[in-house]
Structure 1
């Protein structure tokens, strides 16, 4: 969308080669629905207001979720397996079952988010997983830990896809990745924070008769519950009801969101009402959309390495010959660097209005990192192995928000986007179930099989990115030649991303 419009009555469909189209003005209950006049400075002012009000709490929520999901890796090297008399295979199953329930409940959770309001649904999820996490510190055997991980998957299922979808309800598609990266970088900071926090909490070993690894679960779970009670007052539901925006600002945000995909001479409020309606057909459209399933392979190419690293990085570093405390702390610089690179890359991606080149570049970094690890493992060069892991992680964290944002901006209609993103992220997170079994105890300290599998999934993901890019280019080219006179505005709105006016972002 062109933010610097000379006339308030024109709007451009982003990515379209067609000329500006008139935006009709009509009365509805005495209210003028024509889009407000605005400048790039006004747009930047509104975006800053939304960033300040929305992103800090979203970052905290995801930091806590990722912290609670991955702290089992820190607990492992603090004695969890010995105290619960578990084998390495049983530990892998505890990681795996989380993703079964996590995947199943993502789609219904995203639909509930729209119906029940984010300010209610997201804190409710937090309370649930905070309680489960706290109780994980009290389990006495393998069966107890396995059961707790199953319920943790149910409770956490709605958070990441919910927040990723929530951002698309506030920001236009050429502004979305920077915001996705800002909140997702909380996961990277969580990786660093997890190592520091686990190192500190483990010093409580013996307090109250509990081992240090138990306190990791208990304290981090209680922290989540406390934040959950603050969250409802810091989460704003939708632009239409945001009290921190003026009436003109609300109209402008809605105009930015709707005019980017709908086209035609339909006033933005009319488009908003149609796109926001729940129709089962929109959900079904997402379930049969080819691009969602190709994107899943891209997702696996990023998240298999992501989960493999988050679960096993402390163990990998420890097995290089470092003490447990040093292994915890050596994870910190990796995650901090990855967070910074992710935000910078997302800013550049939004500025260039391009997704695939950046995703492709960082996925190649992931592959290079694992090639370095495979080539140097077992050769008496732990520093080179550490460097290879470093390169891989710096590729993972910028690639992930790009992959999620790319699909989300190419799905039109609120409920189709909600369903498509949940399906993409839900099935995509089966990568966690797979990666949980890549790094087997009997393969330590080289972990050749695990590193090779991560590399293989990354290469498959790179191929998927290329297929998506070429397919989108071909479809956009065909739509440039379509005669638009055979369609009316509402027809094109209902077609969503299949509309002849819609252009896929590349």
Structure 2
């Protein structure tokens, strides 16, 4: 393994990885069939379990809304403001802890860290079924936000340590569909629990909902310990040859991967300093803040659809389904399109945000209900496409950073995105129905600003690749 360790060595104090350039005679060889088989094996271990984990994460964070209409507010004697504060407290915990979670993940084994925090948030979720006071509920939501903060940015970081630029887009898109479907699954489970377990064993249905979802979460966490891979250099799921190929193929395209003992670790302070001094980190974080603000639309689907003329509550619920379907199809399609030409993935991000911006502007000036419904569907799809491809895009943009710095920067992105969710919740007040000029105007602004930020980042990456090519050409001439 001497060649691998030689390739991995680098200046520990440097912010960026050194380019990996191997001669034809020195480069290790393997067949395309072997590599395809390896990628399928990685997918088998990583994608299904991380997808299920994210579904449960979204279910566990959203079940408070299901419990609310089933009697939680009345049983705990909560005011409207107290219930709103319980929801927002989740985001406070998430924002504060997410950078810490990503740094810890970069220094530990994902197969232990992610299942551990999942088991803990499952226990917290189940414990809500036994709570009787407002302070207990607030503390549980704070802990839930802190514990769940490690999953989404953690998944993005893990993808960046396993997949090539031409592979990662499909995986991030598939991962995002778990968020889209998590709400739907949560509603189905909530409906089943409320219908069949209300009053069972003297326990209210909403309490059973938390208990059951918490137990499911803990069970999946235990299974995940035995399935999740770690990193290409040390995964026990792969044999020595597979680890070598998994690592070397990343190094060949300039992606720095973890390798125990190959370099001195940065301190937490050094990691933070290198990240916050990088202008790309702030560009990514600010852009993500505005993208997530636009995605707040998903929480208002029923309200917005009712405002478009579907006043029957049941029909309004059903009319949200096509909007989710359009977003789902566009998100999956964007992954395949982005992976066909990874260097141009930034255009896909900018394009999705531009669609969001343009349709939001049009929606503020068009009041035909059917037209607005179509605009809403594709406006949201543009935001989902952008968000899914941003995960893949930044994995490529940050591939030349040290692993700890890359992880912290991804944490900054997730922190900013969650902040957008907090104030975005106030963009569609009921008194603005049915036009919701404020909300759609802010969506237009968010799409416009974020598209410009990611366009700047894309142009910077194009120039960087050009400099690398020119350097390689001059070095071989």
For normalisation by structure 2, the TM-score amounts to: 0.83
Q: Deviations over 1:10-31 (max 9, x none)?
A: 9xxxxxxxx9954498xxxxxx
Say whether 1:425 aligns with 2:417. no
CA deviation after TM superposition for structure 1 residue 294, in Å: 0.9
Partner residue, 1:390: 377
* Among candidates 119, 124, 132, match of residue 124 of structure 2: 132
Contact residue 276 and residue 282 of structure 2 kept, 8 A: no
Structure 1: any 5+ residue segments left out of the alignment?
1-9, 11-18, 26-33, 263-267, 487-506
Q: SS state of the match for residue 452, structure 1?
A: helix
**Greater Cα offset, 275-284 or 220-229:** 275-284
Partner residue, 1:227: 220
CA distance in 2, matches of 1:81, 1:131: 21
CA distance in 2, matches of 1:287, 1:460: 21
Partner residue, 2:299: 311
Q: Deviations over 1:225-276 (max 9, x none)?
A: 22112111111222233344343222111101122117xxxxx99x956876
CA distance in 1, matches of 2:233, 2:34: 18
Partner residue, 1:494: none
User: How many residues were matched structurally?
Assistant: 451
* Among candidates 356, 369, 380, match of residue 366 of structure 1: 356
Q: Deviations over 1:89-113 (max 9, x none)?
A: 4444333222222122112212222
Paired residues for 1:29-428 under 5 Å: 35-78=27-70, 80-81=72-73, 84=76, 86=78, 88-140=80-132, 142-204=134-196, 206-208=198-200, 212-261=205-254, 272=259, 277-280=264-267, 281-306=270-295, 308-317=296-305, 321-353=310-342, 354-371=344-361, 373-375=363-365, 381=369, 383-411=370-398, 412=400, 413-428=402-417
User: Relative to structure 1, is the Cα distance of residues 116 and 473 closer, same or farther in structure 2, using a 3 angstrom cutoff?
Assistant: closer
Partner residue, 1:490: none
Q: SS state of the match for residue 236, structure 1?
A: coil
CA deviation after TM superposition for structure 1 residue 124, in Å: 1.1
User: Relative to structure 1, is the Cα distance of residues 88 and 362 closer, same or farther in structure 2, using a 3 angstrom cutoff?
Assistant: farther
Contact residue 347 and residue 458 of structure 2 kept, 8 A: no
User: Relative to structure 1, is the Cα distance of residues 134 and 446 closer, same or farther in structure 2, using a 3 angstrom cutoff?
Assistant: farther
CA deviation after TM superposition for structure 1 residue 444, in Å: 5.1
Give the RMSD, CA atoms, in angstroms.
3.3
CA distance in 2, matches of 1:315, 1:219: 29
Contact residue 88 and residue 441 of structure 1 kept, 8 A: no
Contact residue 286 and residue 416 of structure 2 kept, 8 A: no
CA distance in 1, matches of 2:366, 2:125: 37
User: Relative to structure 1, is the Cα distance of residues 371 and 194 closer, same or farther in structure 2, using a 3 angstrom cutoff?
Assistant: farther
CA distance in 2, matches of 1:242, 1:422: 23
Q: SS state of the match for residue 107, structure 1?
A: helix
Q: SS state of the match for residue 242, structure 1?
A: coil
User: Relative to structure 1, is the Cα distance of residues 160 and 389 closer, same or farther in structure 2, using a 3 angstrom cutoff?
Assistant: same
Q: Deviations over 1:406-458 (max 9, x none)?
A: 12222222222111111121222211212233333544565443333233222
Paired residues for 1:14-25 under 5 Å: 21-23=21-23
Q: SS state of the match for residue 240, structure 1?
A: coil
CA deviation after TM superposition for structure 1 residue 203, in Å: 2.4
